[in-house]
Structure 1
Amino acid sequence: MSNINLIIEERAADIGNFMVGRLLPFRQKRMVGPFIYIDHMGPVKMNERQNFDVLPHPHIGLSTLTFLFEGSIMHRDTLGNEVEIKPGEVNWMTAGKGIVHSERTPEYLRHSEKNMHGLQIWVALPKHLEQMNPEFFHIGSNEIPSWKEGDVEFKLVAGEAFGRKSIVPVYSPMFMIEIKSSSKQTLNIGQHLFGEAGLYIMEGGIESDCNAYESKQILVAKNSSLCEFTILENSTIYIFGGEPYPEERFIDWNFVSSDRELIEQAKQNWREQKFDKIEGESEFVPLPIYPKK
């Protein structure tokens, strides 16, 4: 019997001046472990007049994980951080009780052609840490655990798996693993996983129980301990998940919480511009106004 419980197709979503492929949340599966939101950005080529500009916007109750394959993003936040994110690095920002950040094409690239490709991920915080003080960490590509087994390359982007631990300071049991293979290989990795597990096919494909799956799909396992599949040649996949929370998580715009009242208060605080400001930035993303149902 197949271990695949759900197949999620990438869906187009507009985040301002940029289109992304929305993967989570999904109406039939709001979260996979603590992962509550995944966007696939690009790949897109921008000319000298086009730039990636996400204006200052707030978050509560989550950690953001930015992981680029191509391009560069300048991150600024209300903690005073100003860091350029480059391919292979991990940007890990924990909002806790509230943080504001912006994401833009760096100044030195704004008048030239450039590419953009990467993943934007939100990881919900455990209930007792939803109101923690905000934090920020930037991890270099050479600090991420990487290893090779034959033609298969592994990278532990965040969390714990395969007897290894990433230095990304996560706040609940979770994992995010990159797997690349230059040849067709059958992998049985269930013994290294726990909780819930999703598999995102970035490029190439996999085969499982006589079925073939292509890029831009997330497969959610019925049982992470039974995670066995065949990865096709020249394929890249991401396996993510971990222990799910006992409480429901609510998501409204950029806010995540187990308490709807905290989200409503955050929305009101943003309307009234009570969040801290990023030094040197005056623009901001207004709170969306949704049509009444």
Structure 2
Amino acid sequence: MSNINLIIEERAVSIGKFMVGRLLPFRQKRMVGPFIYIDHMGPVKLNERENFDVLPHPHIGLSTLTFLFEGSIMHRDTLGNAVEIKPGAVNWMTAGKGIVHSERTPEYLRHSDKNMHGLQIWVALPKELEQMEPEFFHIDAGQIPEWTEDGLQFKLVAGEAFGHKSAVPVYSKLFMIEIKSSRRQTINIGHELYGEAGLYILEGSVESDGNIYLPKQLLVAKESSLCEFIIEANSTIYIFGGEPFAEERFIDWNFVASDIDLIKNAKQKWMDQSFDKIPGDEIEFVPYPTFNKK
């Protein structure tokens, strides 16, 4: 990327018994466009005694996007959805005024070895939609736009770019693009982007102004319209971004809002355990943390 403004390294964070690499939020850059939270999960191999179990927890004011490279997760929520997500598909859950969900290893995999690798993302909602009714959508891998151009493989996971529109029902102008390379070449896609942009390296490397950038780095651009870089052979990268919101977003644990009072109310509601319960996952839950580092 020819106009790198900031380099964000993954930071190890514990989610229950599972470690992830956190990219956003970052103290110098809380959001990239409407993207407010990006976690890289794995890659990790779990044995027959280890499982991925994120207990029931609440959200407000955002949409979550789950995208797996390996493994499988069973999503359950207070709307009654119970959906298994596999690699290449997208789970898109809009919390709005409030939803509770859990993410666990499916029952049929709980007593065998399994792999886990993927991205967990939050996208803030526009101010006027922060209190909308919650929703959930599962988009199969075959519904995600894919195409090849100049020897590069593109996938539009969410949003709009390159004249394509993803099936993921987003609520703001954004893009999440996967690019895979088979050879070393220069990419100039700034004319296809808008708002703010960040480039995340999953595999391989990219070069800009003679500097080499490696996996687990998020490169934030000064201007998305100047997005030009060299991608090495056999690399996989993700471009995130879109139009930023005019208003500041507050984040406290799993709650996001432009009005801090909405977060205070949600926090109290969770501490009182007055959110709806998840059918089939009513007993366990994640308590509100007494000390929050996010």
Q: Normalised by the size of structure 1, how large is the TM-score?
A: 0.98
Distance 1:245 1:112 in 2: 44
Q: How does 1:164-183 map to 2 (within 5 A)?
A: 164-183=164-183
One-letter code aligned to 1:41: M
Distance 1:114 1:151 in 2: 33
User: Where does residue 284 of structure 1 map in the other structure?
Assistant: 285
- Of 105-114 and 273-282, the range deviating more from structure 2: 273-282
- Of 143-152 and 98-107, the range deviating more from structure 2: 143-152
Secondary structure in 2 matching 1:169: coil
User: Where does residue 140 of structure 2 map in the other structure?
Assistant: 140
Distance 1:187 1:291 in 2: 40
Whether the 8 Å CA contact 2:2–2:228 is kept in 1: the answer is no
Distance 1:291 1:179 in 2: 35
Deviation sequence 1:196-237 (CA, Å, 0-9, x none): 000000010000111111110000000000100010011000
User: Where does residue 265 of structure 1 map in the other structure?
Assistant: 265
One-letter code aligned to 2:135: E
Q: Residues 291, 31 of structure 1: CA spacing in aligned structure 2 closer, same or farther, 3 A cutoff? A: closer
Secondary structure in 1 matching 2:263: helix
Coordinate RMSD, CA, aligned: 1.2
Whether the 8 Å CA contact 2:252–2:263 is kept in 1: the answer is yes
Secondary structure in 2 matching 1:6: strand
Deviation sequence 1:3-33 (CA, Å, 0-9, x none): 0000000110001110000000000000000
CA deviation after TM superposition for structure 1 residue 150, in Å: 3.5
Secondary structure in 1 matching 2:111: coil
Segments of structure 2 that go 5 or more residues without pairing to the other structure are none
Q: Residues 20, 249 of structure 1: CA spacing in aligned structure 2 closer, same or farther, 3 A cutoff? A: same
User: Where does residue 247 of structure 1 map in the other structure?
Assistant: 247
Moved over 4 A (4+): none
User: Where does residue 121 of structure 1 map in the other structure?
Assistant: 121
Distance 2:280 2:193 in 1: 44
One-letter code aligned to 1:244: P
Secondary structure in 2 matching 1:172: coil
Distance 1:150 1:5 in 2: 27
Secondary structure in 2 matching 1:262: helix
Whether the 8 Å CA contact 2:201–2:215 is kept in 1: the answer is yes
Distance 1:188 1:286 in 2: 46
Distance 1:98 1:287 in 2: 15
Percent identical residues:
79
CA deviation after TM superposition for structure 1 residue 151, in Å: 2.4
Distance 1:260 1:291 in 2: 16
Whether the 8 Å CA contact 2:96–2:132 is kept in 1: the answer is yes
Distance 1:19 1:2 in 2: 32
